[in-house]
Amino acid sequence: MDSIASTSKPITSTPESSFDISGGCRAFIEPDGVEELLKPLIEAGSTSICFSNCSFGLEAAVIAAPILLSISEQLTEVDLSDFMARRPETEALEVITIFSEALQESDLRYLNISNNALGEKGVRAFGQLLRSQCNLEELYLMNDGISEQAAKAVCDLIPSTKKLKVLHFHNDMTGDEGAISIARLVIKSPVLEDFRCSSTRVGPQGGFVLSEALGNSTNLKKLDLRDNMFGVIAGIALSESLLVFSNLTEVYLSYLSLEDEGTIAIVNALKNSASALEVLEMAGNDITSEAAPALAACLTAKNATLTKLVLSENELKDIGAIVIANALFKDEFGKLTEVDLSTNEIRTAGARVLSQAVVGKPWFKLLNINGNYISDEGVDNLKEIFRKFPNVLGPLDDNDPEGEEYDDDTEDELESKLKDFQIK
């Protein structure tokens, strides 16, 4: 059995007001050690508790409950993520209910109940705690088995999200119907700044409804919808919402099946928005060179603020890479640190101009063009370009120098694009 000790690592509170037992190896809390373990909670007047990585059994929970109840009114931050590991479902639900009842008098700003495989039963076991929260600013429900029914339960139980700034779902089983319930939460969260709904099995229907709902979140700063199945139509709907985000700095839209049409709509919206974009990730969306001019125009519009660009696992090929390189070359991009166009069927010509576009930029740290079709001679050429900056060129261990050939028409178009690129 693992031993644990209380620490003072804060969530967002000051160290003096935090009680955190999450450090070290996973611990199974035994009844005979609960009172001693939680004694500092009362002595320190803690406003923040973190029990993550500590698994409470039923007997331990019964002993912990009155201690939590005695301080519940002073608490503003509670982290109960991953606190039910390896417990049978019946016991886990009872423990959740005990903790929920003990903490229902709290007025929380931060609540994290991630990594508990809750499902609908678990969400409803947290019902008393969730029903009592009217001032939440941060809510995390990641890796919780949030199905359609569980998402609906979350939406039904929380009385108010008017102050909610952070809402995170990830690695859940939400699906389209669940996304519609989450969309209801989003609509009722007018000051939302950070929204994540990634790897949640949301398809075109749910993606469309969720994208429309996001149009109400005009304060949004960070948006993460990665690894869903939105498709083109939901992507276009999302583009219409993106236009209203004047504070948006980070956009994560990888693996959404956006294709060229959805991608063009989104980057045009970002280009025309007032946002000071810093991070743009759109990997794995079947993007071809057809979308490259729109992407380049967006990059040019955001050149003063952009720090990171990820377009890996697409089909931009040399032509698309050169169009993007031209944009990166012509403008200052004074804050740019990373560009990732790995696995894009790029050959030597495209790799060379991308390298020339970024080499020597003041803050630049990494060009990732691994997994492409660069010849052995081309690899040597790239290493020469980065001779003074050897750590800036990423590894090329997955490069395939025997990659696909282009036909004559493509080669002619490639030569035309290369004429527009000015060698440094």
pLDDT digits (tens, 9 = 90+) for 45-56: 889 999 998 889
In sequence order, what are the residues at sequence separation of 6 or more whose Cβ sits closer than 8 angstroms to the Cβ of residue 412? none
For the chain, the farthest-separated pair of C-alpha atoms sits apart, in whole angstroms, at: 78
Question: What pLDDT does residue 5 have?
Answer: 31
Cα 203 to Cα 46: distance, rounded to the nearest angstrom? 43
Question: What pLDDT does residue 421 have?
Answer: 58
Specify whether the CB–CB gap between 325 and 351 falls below 8 A: no
What pLDDT digit, counting tens, does each position of 103-157 carry? 999 999 999 999 988 899 999 999 999 999 999 999 999 999 999 999 999 999 9
Q: How far out from the chain centre does Cα 8 lie? A: 27
Cα 281 to Cα 255: distance, rounded to the nearest angstrom? 10
User: 248: which 2 tokens?
Assistant: 């948006």
Of 400, 298, 397, 296, nearest to 344 (Cα)?
400
What pTM does this model have?
A: 0.92
Of 363, 359, 347, 351, nearest to 406 (Cα)?
347
Specify whether the CB–CB gap between 179 and 209 falls below 8 A: yes
Report helix angle 89-103 to 58-71, nearest 10. 10
Q: Of all residues in the chain, what percent carry a pLDDT higher than 90?
A: 80
Lowest mean pLDDT among 69-78, 159-168, 187-196, 403-412: 403-412
Chain mean pLDDT for the chain: 91
Report helix angle 175-187 to 204-213, nearest 10. 0
- Residue 219 CB: number of other CB atoms within 10 A? 17
Cα 97 to Cα 331: distance, rounded to the nearest angstrom? 57
Question: What pLDDT does residue 6 have?
Answer: 31
Q: What is the 3-state secondary structure (H, E, C) of the chain?
A: CCCCCCECCCCCCCHHHEEECCCCCCEEECHHHHHHHHHHHHHHCCCEEECCCEEECHHHHHHHHHHHHHHHHHCCEEECCCCCCCCCHHHHHHHHHHHHHHHCCCCCCEEECCCCCCHHHHHHHCHHHHHCCCCCCEEEEECCCCCHHHHHHHHHHCCCCCCCCEEEEECCCCHHHHHHHHHHHHHCCCCCCEEEEECCCCCHHHHHHHHHHHHHCCCCCEEECCCCCCHHHHHHHHHHHHCCCCCCCEEECCCCCCHHHHHHHHHHHHHHCCCCCCEEECCCCCCEHHHHHHHHHHHHHCCCCCCEEECCCCECHHHHHHHHHHHHHHCCCCCCCEEECCCCCCCHHHHHHHHHHHCCCCCCCEEECCCCCCCHHHHHHHHHHCCCCCCCECCCCCCCCCCCCCCHHHHHHHHHHHHCCCCC
Residue 35 has pLDDT above 80, yes or no: yes
Lowest mean pLDDT among 41-50, 179-188, 406-415: 406-415
In sequence order, what are the residues at sequence separation of 6 or more whose Cβ sits closer than 8 angstroms to the Cβ of residue 143? 114, 115, 117, 170, 171, 172
User: 420: which 2 tokens?
Assistant: 């527009």
Residue 7 has pLDDT above 60, yes or no: no
Which residues are registered as beta bridge partners of 54? Answer: 27
Specify whether the CB–CB gap between 222 and 193 falls below 8 A: yes
Dihedrals φ, ψ of 106, to 5°? -75, 155
Residue 10 has pLDDT above 50, yes or no: no
What pLDDT band is residue 403 in, cutting at 50, 70 and 90? confident
What pLDDT digit, counting tens, does each position of 251-308 carry? 999 999 999 999 999 999 999 999 999 999 999 999 999 999 999 999 999 999 999 9
The CA–CA distances, whole Å, from 264 to 268, 302, 416 equal 6, 16, 23
What pLDDT digit, counting tens, does each position of 378-399 carry? 999 999 999 999 999 999 999 9
User: 327: which 2 tokens?
Assistant: 């944009």
Specify whether the CB–CB gap between 266 and 239 falls below 8 A: yes
Question: What pLDDT does residue 414 have?
Answer: 64
Question: What pLDDT does residue 24 have?
Answer: 73
